[in-house]
Amino acid sequence: MDAGPLTKLEAETRAQGLSVLRYEVWLDLTLPTHFQGRCTVTFRTQALALLWLDIDSQIYTELDHLEVSTHYQLRSSRLYLPELPAGQHSVTVKYVGKYRRNGTGLHRFTDPVDQSVYLYSYFCPYFARAVFPCFDQPDLKACLCLTVRVLSEWKVYSNVTVT
Protein backbone atom coordinates (compact mmCIF):
# COMPACT_ATOMS: atom_id res chain seq x y z
CA MET A 1 0.00 0.00 0.00
CA ASP A 2 1.44 3.37 -1.00
CA ALA A 3 1.69 5.83 1.87
CA GLY A 4 1.29 8.71 -0.56
CA PRO A 5 2.44 12.26 0.07
CA LEU A 6 2.98 13.56 3.56
CA THR A 7 -0.28 14.73 5.09
CA LYS A 8 -0.67 17.80 7.28
CA LEU A 9 -1.55 15.65 10.30
CA GLU A 10 1.51 13.42 9.78
CA ALA A 11 3.78 16.47 9.47
CA GLU A 12 2.35 18.09 12.61
CA THR A 13 2.64 14.88 14.65
CA ARG A 14 6.21 14.22 13.52
CA ALA A 15 7.30 17.83 14.17
CA GLN A 16 5.94 17.79 17.73
CA GLY A 17 8.21 14.94 18.82
CA LEU A 18 11.29 15.51 16.69
CA SER A 19 14.13 17.97 16.21
CA VAL A 20 16.62 17.33 13.44
CA LEU A 21 20.18 18.37 14.20
CA ARG A 22 22.27 17.46 11.16
CA TYR A 23 22.38 15.75 7.79
CA GLU A 24 25.76 14.49 6.57
CA VAL A 25 25.35 13.58 2.90
CA TRP A 26 27.96 12.06 0.59
CA LEU A 27 27.07 11.69 -3.10
CA ASP A 28 28.97 10.04 -5.95
CA LEU A 29 27.80 11.82 -9.10
CA THR A 30 30.29 10.24 -11.52
CA LEU A 31 27.97 7.54 -12.89
CA PRO A 32 25.88 8.43 -15.96
CA THR A 33 22.60 6.69 -15.10
CA HIS A 34 22.38 6.87 -11.31
CA PHE A 35 24.14 8.21 -8.23
CA GLN A 36 25.26 6.54 -5.03
CA GLY A 37 24.89 8.08 -1.63
CA ARG A 38 25.37 7.76 2.08
CA CYS A 39 23.55 9.92 4.58
CA THR A 40 23.75 10.13 8.35
CA VAL A 41 20.85 11.91 10.02
CA THR A 42 21.30 13.00 13.64
CA PHE A 43 18.15 13.93 15.53
CA ARG A 44 16.52 14.18 18.96
CA THR A 45 13.17 12.63 19.61
CA GLN A 46 10.59 12.25 22.27
CA ALA A 47 9.22 8.72 22.42
CA LEU A 48 7.31 8.40 19.13
CA ALA A 49 5.38 5.27 18.23
CA LEU A 50 5.70 5.94 14.50
CA LEU A 51 8.70 7.61 12.91
CA TRP A 52 10.04 7.40 9.38
CA LEU A 53 12.56 8.95 7.04
CA ASP A 54 11.40 10.00 3.59
CA ILE A 55 13.56 8.35 0.90
CA ASP A 56 13.15 6.79 -2.51
CA SER A 57 15.68 3.94 -2.16
CA GLN A 58 17.96 2.18 0.29
CA ILE A 59 20.58 -0.54 0.41
CA TYR A 60 21.74 -0.64 4.01
CA THR A 61 20.63 1.11 7.19
CA GLU A 62 22.14 1.55 10.66
CA LEU A 63 20.35 3.04 13.64
CA ASP A 64 22.59 4.24 16.48
CA HIS A 65 25.49 2.31 14.87
CA LEU A 66 23.59 -1.00 14.70
CA GLU A 67 22.27 -2.54 11.50
CA VAL A 68 18.50 -2.12 11.29
CA SER A 69 16.46 -5.27 11.02
CA THR A 70 14.98 -6.00 7.60
CA HIS A 71 11.58 -5.54 9.30
CA TYR A 72 12.15 -1.78 9.04
CA GLN A 73 12.72 -1.66 5.32
CA LEU A 74 11.62 0.91 2.81
CA ARG A 75 7.90 0.98 2.01
CA SER A 76 6.30 3.57 -0.24
CA SER A 77 9.14 6.13 -0.01
CA ARG A 78 9.25 5.79 3.76
CA LEU A 79 11.88 4.08 5.86
CA TYR A 80 10.02 3.23 9.06
CA LEU A 81 12.17 3.17 12.18
CA PRO A 82 11.57 1.09 15.30
CA GLU A 83 10.07 2.79 18.33
CA LEU A 84 12.84 4.87 19.88
CA PRO A 85 13.34 6.05 23.43
CA ALA A 86 13.57 9.78 23.98
CA GLY A 87 17.01 11.17 23.27
CA GLN A 88 19.55 11.68 20.52
CA HIS A 89 19.83 9.14 17.71
CA SER A 90 21.52 8.75 14.34
CA VAL A 91 20.50 6.84 11.24
CA THR A 92 22.93 6.06 8.43
CA VAL A 93 21.55 4.94 5.07
CA LYS A 94 23.47 3.81 2.00
CA TYR A 95 21.48 4.06 -1.20
CA VAL A 96 21.39 4.31 -4.98
CA GLY A 97 19.32 7.08 -6.55
CA LYS A 98 18.04 7.67 -10.04
CA TYR A 99 18.51 10.91 -11.89
CA ARG A 100 15.16 12.38 -12.77
CA ARG A 101 14.07 13.81 -16.08
CA ASN A 102 11.12 15.83 -14.82
CA GLY A 103 13.08 18.58 -13.06
CA THR A 104 12.45 17.27 -9.51
CA GLY A 105 14.99 15.75 -7.16
CA LEU A 106 18.37 15.51 -8.91
CA HIS A 107 18.15 16.18 -12.63
CA ARG A 108 20.94 15.25 -15.07
CA PHE A 109 21.04 16.71 -18.57
CA THR A 110 23.52 16.28 -21.44
CA ASP A 111 23.52 19.26 -23.77
CA PRO A 112 23.07 17.91 -27.32
CA VAL A 113 25.10 20.78 -28.80
CA ASP A 114 28.34 20.58 -26.79
CA GLN A 115 27.80 17.26 -24.91
CA SER A 116 28.42 18.99 -21.57
CA VAL A 117 26.72 17.40 -18.58
CA TYR A 118 24.68 19.51 -16.17
CA LEU A 119 23.12 18.52 -12.86
CA TYR A 120 20.75 20.53 -10.74
CA SER A 121 18.54 19.88 -7.77
CA TYR A 122 14.98 20.89 -7.08
CA PHE A 123 13.63 19.82 -3.71
CA CYS A 124 10.31 21.67 -3.41
CA PRO A 125 7.76 20.76 -2.34
CA TYR A 126 8.59 17.15 -1.40
CA PHE A 127 11.54 16.00 -3.51
CA ALA A 128 14.61 16.17 -1.24
CA ARG A 129 13.82 12.51 -0.47
CA ALA A 130 14.76 11.70 -4.08
CA VAL A 131 18.37 12.68 -3.33
CA PHE A 132 18.94 11.78 0.32
CA PRO A 133 16.98 10.32 3.24
CA CYS A 134 15.46 13.07 5.33
CA PHE A 135 12.51 14.26 7.33
CA ASP A 136 11.17 16.01 4.22
CA GLN A 137 9.02 18.81 5.58
CA PRO A 138 9.83 22.54 5.74
CA ASP A 139 9.41 22.99 9.50
CA LEU A 140 12.08 20.39 10.36
CA LYS A 141 15.26 22.32 9.57
CA ALA A 142 18.81 21.09 10.17
CA CYS A 143 22.42 21.76 9.26
CA LEU A 144 23.50 20.08 6.02
CA CYS A 145 27.04 18.93 5.32
CA LEU A 146 27.25 17.90 1.66
CA THR A 147 30.24 16.16 0.09
CA VAL A 148 30.17 15.28 -3.61
CA ARG A 149 32.41 13.17 -5.82
CA VAL A 150 32.39 14.48 -9.39
CA LEU A 151 34.37 14.09 -12.59
CA SER A 152 37.63 16.08 -12.60
CA GLU A 153 36.50 18.39 -15.43
CA TRP A 154 33.31 19.43 -13.64
CA LYS A 155 32.75 22.62 -11.68
CA VAL A 156 30.58 22.52 -8.58
CA TYR A 157 28.56 25.56 -7.54
CA SER A 158 26.54 26.21 -4.42
CA ASN A 159 24.36 29.01 -3.15
CA VAL A 160 26.15 28.87 0.21
CA THR A 161 29.79 29.20 1.21
CA VAL A 162 31.78 26.07 0.37
CA THR A 163 34.31 24.94 2.99
Q: Read off the pLDDT of residues 120-151 as tens digits, 9 standing for 90 and up.
A: 888 887 889 999 999 999 899 999 999 999 99
List the domain boundaries for the chain.
8-98+129-149
Looking at domain 8-98+129-149, which CATH architecture does it have? Sandwich (2.60)
Q: What local confidence, expressed as pLDDT, does residue 73 receive?
A: 57
Q: Read off the pLDDT of residues 24-39 as tens digits, 9 standing for 90 and up.
A: 999 999 999 999 999 9
Distance CA 20, CA 139 (A): 10
Distance CA 157, CA 55 (A): 24
Distance CA 106, CA 65 (A): 28
User: Is the CB of residue 72 less than 8 Å from the CB of residue 82?
Assistant: yes
In the predicted model, residues of the chain with pLDDT beneath 70 are 1-4, 69-75, 162-163
Query: Beta strands of the chain (E only): which ranges?
Result: 18-28, 34-45, 51-54, 60-63, 66-67, 74-75, 78-81, 87-98, 105-110, 117-122, 143-149
Q: What local confidence, expressed as pLDDT, does residue 2 receive?
A: 44
Global pTM reads: 0.86
Q: What local confidence, expressed as pLDDT, does residue 74 receive?
A: 59
